[in-house]
Chain A
Amino acid sequence: MTTEVANLIFNGNTLAYLGIAIAAIAGIGSAYGVGIAGQAANGVVAEDPGKFGQALLLQALPGTQGIYGLLIAFLIMVKIGALGGDPKDLTIMQGAALMMAGIPIGLVGIFSGIAQGKTAASGIMLISKRPEEIAKGMVYTAMVETYAVLALLISFLMWMSVAV
């Protein structure tokens, strides 16, 4: 009985679905990050509503981790045919590999999103004092994103390497 249940749960397809879920939780980081930056933006805009556009640019930057997570999740879904209503039968190995492929972006996305949100928030503080220096604030914020990009790359290459 236990073996049957185990077989039912631990097959290739459910593992791949787990990978989709893991990749998509990178959005947690973005939600936190955009939220932190948004709080700072509200404070700055309260003083000077004219800074709305600039603050919005910076606030948008930590949003990319969620996009990267979505990207990998979507790619895995395409690979296993989850979108067409005709899912393929995966071996345990294939499913496990796809699950692992979701981990880099899922995990790095969370933490880099939060860190990037904090940097974006301080960038918004920067433009409250010196709006002409927005590019510098954006570059500092983009420095954090590098690691999300690298994780995305690894997730992507892992996804590539799985033959289905």
Chain B
Amino acid sequence: MEKLTVIGLSKDRDSLMEELMRLGVVQITAQDAKLTDDEWRELVAADGNEEAVAKWEGQISRVAQAIETLQKYSDMKKPLIRTRLAVRQRDFDRVMDREVEIRKKADHVLSLSDQLTEVKNRINRAETQKLSLLPWKDYDLPLSLTETKTVRVVLGAIPAASDPEVFRSELEEKAPDTESELVGSDKDQHYFALFLLKAEEEKANEVLRDFSFSRIAFPEFEGMVSQCIESCEKETEELLQQESELIKLIKTEEQYEPDLEFLHDGLIMKRDRQKIRSRLLKTDSVFYLEGWVPRMAVDRVEMLLRVKECWYEAVEARKGEETPVLLLNNAFNSPFESVTRLYALPDSRGLDPTPFFSFFYALFFGMMLSDAAYGLIITIATLIIKKKFRLEGMMKKMISMFFYCGIATMFWGVMFGGYFGDLITVVADTFFGKEVVIQPLWFNPLEDPMTLLIFSFILGTIHLFLGMGLSAYMSVKDGRPLDALFDVGFWYLLLVGLVMFLCGKMAGLLGPVPTNIGMWMAVIGAVGILLTGGRDKKGFGRITGGLGSLYNITSYLSDVLSYSRLLALGLATGVISTVFNTLGSLAGGGVLGMFAMLIAFVVGHTYNLAINSLGSFVHSCRLQYVEFFGKFYESGGEAFDPFSENTKYIQILREEK
């Protein structure tokens, strides 16, 4: 990363920003600190144009809403994975020439959408009204009739828990001349129409209170209930008609959706060009910006700045200065950057671990899934996705990573003889009565798990030693070679020596001379750790510190044991496949058996592939994150975030010069 400082004339600012955005390689940093700095404060002011930003924001959200409306009602098939459409600048400009027209379309779609919302609200209202009228459908007086000279008409309900007969008799007792009529009941309430003699009203009200009678009024209706319900239904019907017409109208606009997407992204670029100005400083006639440029892109930026006649300076970041982090790796390693990114980016002064673990990642994934057929499925599926969709960023990296993992899975599947588990053997036996066994290239882990367990431990040890080696490398690079010797070298001695000693003594794999060498290596390593482990502590702490360091040997033990999951998860895939194949074969041969086999095959292996590739992904990550990264990795960098065309739907292609 190089630090870039630019001063240019204000009149060139907008065109320079446009070009920088196209290049997309400069991260412009905020300059708030300078504004409080005494030396700077008197000379410069913050640039920025909040008003323009807000204006564009408003337009963007309107267009986004229009796009959303079109997408919601469109019959067009949505792709499985959303990708940006690649267009050339010429074509983009050609669409943007029609900007006024497209804006009108957006407004039109928005007004249709507003009308639709209104119609939907009215439908809701009409339906609620109808629902409130329904209990009264047997009431045969006009709703507008609420009183006569001597009688008051009261509509209302008592809770379903009360007995309507008791209510009526009580009412009759207290107010003998009042007529009551039970209009209807549902599971919540009993609905009554009461004709109260005004003279008796007070007494009647007491009864009503006792029974928690709630009055219901229909001021918005006139005429008979059945007529009102009918008119509600008619209104709903008309509104539904309107709704479907509006939706049809919206659908006729669906071919303009791509245009709206162009407009949306054009607006986003305009907004971003204004937004970035808040990071610049200005005087009356010049502007000032600072930023970061990756070393390989410096030439291109310098060329642009020379053309624009700006003063500029690009210098290497000072030692120890924090810079944004951009991971750069070759074609095989770069997909695995997604695993690094999922953890956290490396510190800008640290080391990118990706090239060191990518091979192991695929290897471990393959061992844990270890089925050639599953590997083939993953490989082909990722190839199809890559071919069919123009993927970008993290998604593209993930898919490419699974492509390599699929190949590794095929490799281990062939080594261990797994092709949908033992499907071929089972099918040959069940339907053809023949014995076919595909011999594994290496061995069958189910028959000889100890070999695979030890192999897993060996792989794990190599993985861990690599991590420790990287830690030593970083110590040396930082000018602390002794730390490398004390913290890593002694451990190498101790661990290698211990393994040699144990192999010689317990298993008799080595002769007496290497065994003795191993013993002495272990002793030297252990003494070294004991003496140096507490070197940054004082007094008594030096002794206990050394002991504490030596005690860490248990953590190395548990680290290595953790790699046993390579065996265990590999077995899980194989045995579960076998379970499903066996289930399928239980119905025997013949047509019925074939049917059972097919169901068990499709359901069982889909499930097994899904759950076990998830497991392999997670556990392969874990082995990197916990065991490998734990040995050396320093994370905490900020991602490089260049000022670029950060669009949602369209990617503008540039011809490489």
Contacts and interface: CB of A to CB of B under 8 A. Distances in A.
Q: Is B truly associated with A?
A: yes
Interface of A: 57, 60-61, 63-64, 67-68, 70-71, 74-75, 83, 135-136, 138-139, 141-143, 145-146, 149-150, 152-153, 156-157, 160
Interface string B437-463: 000000000000110010000000000
Nearest to A57: B614
Interface in B597-641: 611, 614-615, 618-619, 621-622, 625-626
B567 A135 contact: no
Q: Looking at B343, B582, B615, B626, which has the most chain A CB atoms within 10 Å of its CB?
A: B615
A150 B619 CA distance: 13
B576 A67 contact: yes
Contacts of A150: 561, 564, 568
Given A152-B568, A153-B564, 17 more contacts: A60-B611, A63-B611, A67-B572, A67-B576, A67-B611, A68-B568, A71-B575, A74-B578, A135-B343, A142-B621, A142-B622, A143-B622, A143-B626, A156-B449, A156-B568, A157-B449, A160-B450
| Complex A-B, nearest 8 residue pairs according to Cβ-Cβ distance, in ascending order | A135-B342, A71-B575, A142-B618, A149-B568, A149-B565, A142-B622, A153-B568, A138-B618
B562 interface: yes
A157 B564 CA distance: 12
A156 B449 CA distance: 9
B342 A153 contact: no
A74 B575 CA distance: 8
A149 B342 contact: no
Contacts of A143: 622, 626
Q: Looking at B453, B567, B568, B619, which has the most chain A CB atoms within 10 Å of its CB?
A: B568
B449 A139 contact: no
A142 B619 contact: yes
A67 B615 CA distance: 12
Contacts of A68: 568, 572
B569 interface: yes
B68 to A, nearest CB: 14
Contacts of A146: 562, 565
A156 B569 CA distance: 12
B579 interface: yes
A142 B617 CA distance: 11
25 contacts: A61-B618, A64-B611, A64-B615, A67-B611, A71-B572, A71-B579, A83-B582, A135-B342, A135-B343, A135-B621, A136-B343, A142-B621, A142-B622, A149-B569, A150-B561, A150-B564, A150-B568, A152-B568, A152-B571, A152-B572, A153-B453, A153-B564, A153-B567, A157-B449, A160-B449
A149 B564 contact: yes
Given A71-B571, A136-B342, A138-B621, A60 B576 contact: no
Contacts of A136: 342-343
B458 to A, nearest CB: 16
A60 B609 CA distance: 13
A70 B621 CA distance: 25
A152 B625 CA distance: 23
A58 to B, nearest CB: 10
B323 to A, nearest CB: 22
Contacts of B626: 139, 143
Q: Looking at B561, B562, B571, which has the most chain A CB atoms within 10 Å of its CB?
A: B571
Contacts of B578: 74
Given A71-B576, A149-B568, A150-B564, A139 B611 contact: no
A74 B572 contact: no
A152 B569 CA distance: 9
Interface in B380-419: none
B622 A139 contact: yes
A64 B607 CA distance: 12
B466 to A, nearest CB: 20
A139 B614 CA distance: 12
A142 B619 CA distance: 7
Nearest to A159: B449
A146 B615 CA distance: 11
Contacts of A71: 571-572, 575-576, 579
A125 to B, nearest CB: 18
Contacts of A149: 564-565, 568-569
B168 to A, nearest CB: 46
A135 B361 CA distance: 15
Interface string B567-587: 111011001101100100000
Contacts of B614: 57, 60-61
Contacts of B564: 149-150, 153
Contacts of B342: 135-136
Contact of A139 (B450, B579, B625): B625
Contacts of A152: 568, 571-572
B567 A139 contact: no
A107 B568 CA distance: 17
A157 B454 CA distance: 13
Contacts of B575: 71, 74-75
A57 B579 CA distance: 23
A83 B579 CA distance: 11
A143 B626 CA distance: 9
Nearest to A134: B342
Nearest to B586: A83
Contacts of B582: 74, 83
A63 B614 CA distance: 11
B334 to A, nearest CB: 18
Contacts of B450: 157, 160
